[in-house]
Amino acid sequence: MRVLMLMILVCGATTWAGSAEVEATDDACLRDSECLSHYQSARQLSKSGQSQAALEQYLLAYKRQPVPRLLYSIARLQHRLGQSREALSSYQRFLATAPPSDAELRGKALEYKAQLEHDSAAAALPAGSDAAATPAIAAQSTTAAVTAAPTPRQPIYKKWWLWTIVGVAAAGIAIGAGLGVASQRPDTSGAVPARPF
């Protein structure tokens, strides 16, 4: 019972320490008072519809602390303001620097980036071209880009269930071998076994 409680405590402490580490490395801007001030100002300006002023504040915050999530916000505002080239560049920089754990934002950035690429390709089409097929192709490429995002696969020898099966099998073999050996010991008591006629 004590061993089980110790294992639970160790697992819980490991999980807690891991989550605290993620939070500590993820909020560099929140720990810097100047960056935090720019960030909060940008959020308020964005909510009130002042996109250009919000973009300037996000850029100042990013200049102070280059946090990937700020790049995503910068790209979104540039996209809304019609600054397609700058937004595309910001999305690409975000995708290059964002951690894999930010999968949700990475997926959204891929979608918005594909949308920008599609819009800029559609704007470059001549007036008489077959533009009706282009949205379907772009939608397929957007879906493919989002679903094709590589997810790191864990090797089988690092899966918990494999080692659980191996441990149970080893324990079963050891118990079976012990019982088999114990039942095959010769009777050393000296008594003659009684056998029916």
Confidence at residue 173, expressed as pLDDT on a 0 to 100 scale: 95
Name every residue whose Cβ is closer than 8 Å to that of residue 135 and which is 6 or more positions away in sequence.
118
131 part of a folded domain? no
145 part of a folded domain? no
62 part of a folded domain? yes
- Domain tally, the chain: 1
195 part of a folded domain? no
User: Does the structure show a pLDDT above 60 at 37?
Assistant: yes
Confidence at residue 99, expressed as pLDDT on a 0 to 100 scale: 86
Handedness of CA 148, 152, 154, 155 (dihedral sign): positive
Mean pLDDT of 142-168: 70
190 part of a folded domain? no
110 part of a folded domain? yes
Q: What is the pTM of this model?
A: 0.51
Of 51, 23, 55, 57, residue with least CA distance to 37: 57
Highest average pLDDT, of 83-92, 98-107, 134-143, comes from 83-92
Expressed as residue numbers, the domain containing 81 is: 28-123
- The token duo for 25 is 């490395």
Confidence at residue 180, expressed as pLDDT on a 0 to 100 scale: 81
Q: Where is average pLDDT lowest: 11-15, 42-46, 106-110, 192-196?
A: 11-15
Percent of the chain at pLDDT above 70?
68
- The token duo for 183 is 């039942």
Q: How far is CA 49 from CA 55, 91, 104, in A?
A: 11, 21, 25
Confidence at residue 15, expressed as pLDDT on a 0 to 100 scale: 37
CATH code for the domain in which residue 86 is found: 1.25.40.10
165 part of a folded domain? no
Mean pLDDT of 146-156: 61
39 part of a folded domain? yes
Percent of the chain at pLDDT above 90?
29
Categorize the per-residue pLDDT at 152 as very low, low, confident or very high, splitting at 50, 70 and 90: low
Categorize the per-residue pLDDT at 184 as very low, low, confident or very high, splitting at 50, 70 and 90: confident
Confidence at residue 145, expressed as pLDDT on a 0 to 100 scale: 45
The CB density around residue 35, as the number of other CB atoms within 10 Å, is 22
